[in-house]
Amino acid sequence: MRVTIHDLQQMKARGERIPMLTAYDYSTARILDEAGVPLILVGDSLGMVMLGYDTTLPVTLEVMLHHIKAVVRGTKRAFVVGDMPFMSYQTSVADALRNAGRLLQEAGSQAVKLEGGEPMADTVRRLVEVGIPVQGHLGFTPQSVNQLGVRVQGRSKDLARRLVNDAVCLEQAGAFSIVLEMVPAPLARLITARVKVPTIGIGAGPYCDGQVQVIHDMLGLYPDFVPKHAKQYAQMGRVMQDAVTCYLNEVTAGAFPTSKESFGMDQQVLEAVIAELGPE
Ligand code: KIV
In this prediction, residue 20 carries a pLDDT of 98
Domains, the chain, in order of start with CATH, read 5-234 (3.20.20.60), 239-277 (no CATH)
Ligand 1 mutation target, pool 21, 40, 181, 229, most atoms within 8 A of CB = 181
User: Residue 171: pLDDT band by 50, 70, 90 thresholds?
Assistant: very high
Residue of the CA atom closest to atom 3 of ligand 1: 43
Atom of ligand 1 minimally distant from the CA of 212: 7
Q: How far is the CA of 179 from the centre of ligand 1 (A)?
A: 9
Each residue of 42-67: pLDDT tens digit? 999 999 999 999 999 999 999 999 99
In this prediction, residue 279 carries a pLDDT of 76
Atom of ligand 1 minimally distant from the CA of 115: 8
List Cα–Cα distances, 53 to 28, 67, 134, in angstroms: 21, 16, 26
Atom of ligand 1 minimally distant from the CA of 43: 1
Q: What are the catalytic residues?
A: 181
Mean pLDDT computed over 211-232: 94
Each residue of 117-162: pLDDT tens digit? 999 999 999 999 999 999 999 999 999 999 999 999 999 999 999 9
Mean pLDDT computed over 200-221: 98
Any ligand 1 atom below 6 A from CB of 214:
yes
Mean pLDDT computed over 201-210: 98
In this prediction, residue 280 carries a pLDDT of 76
Any ligand 1 atom below 6 A from CB of 20:
no
Any ligand 1 atom below 6 A from CB of 138:
no
The per-residue pLDDT of the chain, averaged, comes to 97
Distance CA 144, CA 152 (A): 13
List Cα–Cα distances, 224 to 64, 186, 237, 241, in angstroms: 22, 30, 11, 15
20: buried, middle or exposed (CB in 10 Å: 19+, 13-18, 0-12)? buried
Please give the sequence-ordered ranges of beta strands (E in DSSP) within the chain, or none if there are none. Answer: 18-22, 39-42, 79-83, 111-113, 134-139, 177-181, 199-202, 210-213
Q: How far is the CA of 70 from the centre of ligand 1 (A)?
A: 18
267: buried, middle or exposed (CB in 10 Å: 19+, 13-18, 0-12)? exposed
Atom of ligand 1 minimally distant from the CA of 179: 7
In this prediction, residue 84 carries a pLDDT of 98
Each residue of 96-117: pLDDT tens digit? 999 999 999 999 999 999 999 9
